[in-house]
Amino acid sequence: MKSHVERWSVQHMTYSEVISNFLISFPEFIEKAKLEETWWNPEKGDEPLLGVFFEDVVFPQMLESIKNKQNPELVKRLFEYFEDLIKAPVPFIREELRTSIMEAFGNDKIILRKARDLMGPESIKLSHEAEKSLGRE
């Protein structure tokens, strides 16, 4: 099966294209994304902020699912998706994931350990980078 990254040409993607492709892969986030759309104005040609999307739309669901041991299949799919994105040759995606998802997991050491148990090798490496950059490791 092709990875999420192999399905698109991520090297030339905009933030809004990354978000659109995310929502194609995870339609369960569409309603939440619509509720959070106040942070960008597509009518004015504004580009959505990828980090804000990950922080406000994706991370809360991941955190809740890990804390309450709910939706394990969704969390697994999300981490597989992030693993693919981290491997993509696009530095801005990797950086956005580091600052919006990986750093947020590190705010709670118990959750961080649980999350790392679900992460792939590149995600774990990025998580360690995030923690080191904040002086927490």
pLDDT averaged over consecutive 10-residue blocks of the chain (137 residues)?
A: 54 80 95 78 74 93 95 95 89 92 96 96 97 95
CA 11, 15, 18 angle in degrees (round to 5)? 65
Q: Smallest Cα–Cα separation from 60: which of 111, 123, 120?
A: 111
Q: How crowded is the C-beta side of 104, counted as CA atoms within 13 Å?
A: 17
| Reported pTM | 0.85
Residue 10, pLDDT score: 55
Asked whether 87 and 122 are in contact (CB, 8 A), the reply is yes
> 44 is written with which tokens?
């004015």
Residue 41, pLDDT score: 65
Q: Smallest Cα–Cα separation from 118: which of 78, 84, 87?
A: 78
